Chain A
Amino acid sequence: MIYLKLFLTFMKIGAVSFGGGYCMISLIREETLAAGWLTESELMNFIAVAESTPGPVAVNMATFIGSSQGGFLGALTATLGVVLPSFAIILVIAALINNVLKYAGVRATLNAIRPAVAGLVISTAAILFSSAVFGFESLGDGFSFDPKALILLVVISAVCLTSYLLRKKSLSPVLIVIFSGFAGALFYYPF
């Protein structure tokens, strides 16, 4: 039952995705790779699309992966799954506990999750970097150095940093996606 599996997987993702957006990237990556739903490069394509279209990244990812695995119904079940936990939690809090954040114990628990999430996101980026540039992810993989990916990453970082220094504002993700798309077309197409 692909629909049930999509629903349950995305419910799990929805239930622990503290902080929104990228916080669930590491979990989405693990779950979809383990289920054999996506390859790593498909996943990255989906992230780019989810990030450059309107709406929360988590919902977009769920719809996209669901649709690729089970058509319209798959998209529907996956989206429902990712939304349901947060919906239920907020509803309970709004209805029953007026000010859950005033309890110091609750705050202490939530505050401890924050650094872990930051760590998860950064190490996911590091793993993806190593996999894209060196083709190395775990022992047993060979090394295959891709200098183009490295150059591209350096160029993108340089552009973003300059824009940050000049305008005191970071570039929007959509612009970064568009820019790296152009750069990629120039870089990879003729060969």
Chain B
Amino acid sequence: MLKIGLFAFGGGYAMISFFENEFVAKRKWLSADEFSDMVALAESTPGPLAINSATYIGYKTGGVSGSVLCTVAVCIPSFTVIYLISLFFNAFLNIGWVAAAFKGIRTGVIFLILSAGVKMFIKLPKTVFNIVIFAATVACMIAFSVLSVNFSSVFYILISGAVGLTVYLIKRLKDRKKDKSDDIS
């Protein structure tokens, strides 16, 4: 686990193949089926993919104590590295060309965020429902930012989840009614 935390540059998806190699092929802690279940679960619950998978694998192999151990282990490398960096970061930024480089990097980060968003959008199934939610989120977010209205991102997530559930329930209700009327006729 420690090893994986150390090598997984760039987060989540980089780890998946590491995990598969280590736990399915080498140690046989999980079967291939269990592994794909785990990835689906880790993707759809909140939190970093690596942490979610570590907790899950830890629990499946060593119960609650196993999951605590794995989760802590996967965090230790990045925690140590970042903590050390954070100690020297400000002094580092005082060097003229470093400050200039970071000015460029900040622009690069905008590009990174944008491309992450675009990738997520491309992966979405393009249903009417998804596009409406997506467009509404973008519109509200930008409008609120321009008007400097405080509206936490948490609400977008909660609201869209609630909308999804409502749409699903309405659909089911309709299906049931249809079934009943089919029975009568």
Q: Which residues of A contact B (CB under 8 A)?
A: 12, 14-23, 25-27, 30, 34, 41, 44-45, 47-60, 63-64, 67-68, 72, 75, 79, 82-83, 85-87, 89-91, 93-95, 99-101, 104-105, 108-129, 132, 137-140, 149, 152-153, 156-157, 160, 170, 172-174, 176-177, 179-185, 187-189
Contacts and interface: CB of A to CB of B under 8 A. Distances in A.
Interface string B72-106: 00110111011101110100010011111111111
Contacts of B169: 105
Which label, helix, strand, loop or mixed, suits the secondary structure of the A interface?
helix
Mostly, the B contact residues are helix
A91 B45 contact: no
B47 A89 contact: yes
Given A75-B79, A83-B51, A132-B106, 20 more contacts: A20-B47, A27-B153, A30-B153, A56-B11, A56-B49, A56-B51, A59-B79, A72-B83, A86-B51, A87-B67, A94-B55, A110-B161, A115-B121, A119-B137, A127-B142, A128-B109, A156-B111, A184-B102, A185-B104, A187-B100
A56 B167 CA distance: 33
A122 B81 contact: no
Nearest to B143: A123
Interface in B20-57: 37, 40-52, 55-56
Given A45-B93, A86-B46, A90-B56, A53 B142 contact: no
A113 B161 CA distance: 5
Nearest to B141: A123
29 contacts: A17-B47, A17-B48, A22-B113, A26-B141, A26-B153, A44-B105, A44-B109, A51-B10, A53-B9, A54-B8, A57-B48, A58-B47, A58-B48, A63-B79, A64-B86, A86-B47, A86-B48, A90-B42, A90-B52, A90-B56, A104-B168, A109-B161, A116-B137, A117-B157, A118-B121, A121-B116, A184-B100, A184-B104, A188-B104
B165 interface: yes
Interface residues on chain B, size class:
35 or more
A91 B78 contact: no
Contact of A64 (B74, B85, B165): B85
Interface in B102-132: 102-118, 120-121, 124, 129-131
Contacts of A115: 121, 124, 129-131, 133-134, 137, 160
B147 A54 contact: no
Given A83-B75, A87-B51, A114-B120, A172 B100 contact: no
Nearest to B59: A94
Contacts of A128: 109-110, 113
A57 B178 CA distance: 48
A122 B141 CA distance: 10
Contacts of A18: 44-46, 157
Contacts of A153: 107, 110-111
A1 B83 CA distance: 21
Given A53-B85, A114-B120, A185-B101, A16 B131 contact: no
A173 B12 CA distance: 13
A144 B9 CA distance: 36
B124 A114 contact: yes
A157 B46 CA distance: 30
Nearest to A126: B142
B60 interface: yes
